[in-house]
C-alpha cells in the first residue's frame, strides 16, 4: 500500500519551516498537519503559509492525551512523526561540543517517548528524526532512544549544498527511489544519495551570480546559507585563494 492510499497526518516536532508538510504538498498529497514549535519566526511562517496547521505548543508539555485525541480523530490515517533537534551541541564538527547532555539535544527523550506512545496506539506510524553527525557514544544514545540505526542523507546530490545530516527512520516500511545509491562510511553509518544530481546550481542562484568554486564538470557545493539573526558585518574573512575570483571578493565586501 502506498502513502497516497492513506490520509496522511503529519506531526512535526520542532516544526521550523514545516518541511514535511511542504514536501508532501509539493507531491500533491493532501495532509493534515499538527506541529510543535515555540520560536517566533517559525510560528509566523506557519501562520502565513500553513494557516490550517494546528499548533501543539512546546514539546515538553505535549501530553499523551493530545496524541491519543489526534489518533482517535483520524482513524485509519498514516501518522508521520518527524522533527530535527533544534541545537546541535552533539556535532562532531564542533570541538567545544557538550554532547547530548545539552538541554536541547536532551529533547530527543520526550520525542522518543511520544513516538513510543504513538506506536502503541496506532500501527500506521512512520517516523523520521534528524540531527548532525555525532560521536559514537552520542549516536548510540540516539539509536537506543529511537530503536533504529541512523542513515546519512546529504543535500549534496539533491541540491548544490553540502549539509550532511543523520536520520533515524522507521515505523511503516518504506522504499527508496530507484537509483538510490548506498555506501558505508568510515563511521559505519550508511549514506544514501541519488544516482544523478537532479538540480543544477544555476537553478539556485539569482541571475548574474556565479559560485566561486565551479569545477570543470560544472559542479559546486555551497556551504550552509545564512544565520537567522543578521549581523553588522561578515562573520569571517573571505578566503583569499586561487579558488576565489576578485568579483566574488568584491561582492563579499559590498554585501557586508
Q: What per-residue confidence (pLDDT) applies to 97?
A: 53
Q: What per-residue confidence (pLDDT) applies to 107?
A: 78
240, pLDDT greater than 90: no
- What's the pTM value of the predicted model, to 2 decimals? 0.77
Residues 76, 124: contact at Cβ < 8 Å? yes
Q: What per-residue confidence (pLDDT) applies to 101?
A: 47
Domain segments of the chain as ranges: 3-147
- For 121, half-sphere exposure in the C-beta direction (CA atoms, 13 angstrom radius) is 18
Q: What per-residue confidence (pLDDT) applies to 1?
A: 43
* pLDDT 10s digits, 33-55: 999 999 888 899 999 999 999 99
Burial 56-92 (b: 16+ CB within 10 A, else e): beebeebeeeebeebbeebeebbbbbbbbbbbbbbbe
State the cell numbers at 177.
527511489
* pLDDT 10s digits, 75-102: 989 999 999 887 544 444 444 555 554 5
Across 10-19, 165-174, 192-201, least confident range: 192-201
Q: Enumerate residues 6+ apart whose C-beta is below 8 A from 130.
A: 83, 84, 85, 165, 166, 167, 168
160, pLDDT greater than 90: no
For the chain, what is the mean pLDDT? 81
Domain 3-147 class, CATH top level: alpha beta
Amino acid at each position: 500500500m502506498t502513502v497516497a492510499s492513506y490520509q496522511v497526518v503529519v506531526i512535526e516536532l520542532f516544526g521550523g519551516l514545516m518541511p514535511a508538510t511542504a514536501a508532501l504538498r509539493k507531491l500533491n498529497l493532501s495532509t493534515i498537519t499538527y506541529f510543535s514549535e515555540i520560536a517566533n519566526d517559525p510560528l509566523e511562517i506557519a501562520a502565513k503559509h500553513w494557516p490550517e496547521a494546528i499548533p501543539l505548543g512546546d514539546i515538553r508539555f505535549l501530553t499523551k492525551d493530545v496524541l491519543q485525541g489526534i489518533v482517535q480523530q483520524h482513524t485509519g490515517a498514516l501518522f508521520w512523526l518527524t522533527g530535527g533537534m533544534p541545537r546541535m551541541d552533539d556535532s562532531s564538527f564542533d570541538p567545544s561540543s557538550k554532547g547530548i547532555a545539552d538541554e536541547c539535544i536532551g529533547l530527543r527523550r520526550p520525542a522518543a517517548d511520544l513516538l513510543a506512545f504513538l506506536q502503541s496506539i496506532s500501527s500506521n506510524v512512520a517516523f523520521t528524526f534528524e540531527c548532525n553527525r555525532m560521536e559514537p557514544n552520542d549516536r548510540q544514545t540516539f539509536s537506543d532512544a529511537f530503536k533504529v540505526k541512523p542513515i546519512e542523507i546529504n543535500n549534496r546530490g539533491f541540491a548544490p549544498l553540502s549539509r550532511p545530516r543523520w536520520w533515524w527512520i522507521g515505523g511503516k516500511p518504506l522504499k527508496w527511489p530507484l537509483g538510490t545509491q548506498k555506501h558505508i562510511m568510515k563511521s559505519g553509518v550508511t549514506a544514501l544519495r541519488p544516482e544523478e544530481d537532479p538540480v543544477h546550481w544555476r537553478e539556485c542562484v539569482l541571475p548574474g551570480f556565479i559560485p566561486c568554486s565551479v569545477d570543470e564538470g560544472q559542479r559546486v557545493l555551497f556551504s550552509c546559507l545564512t544565520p537567522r539573526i543578521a549581523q553588522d558585518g561578515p562573520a569571517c574573512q573571505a578566503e583569499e585563494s586561487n579558488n576565489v575570483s576578485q568579483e566574488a571578493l568584491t561582492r563579499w565586501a559590498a554585501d557586508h
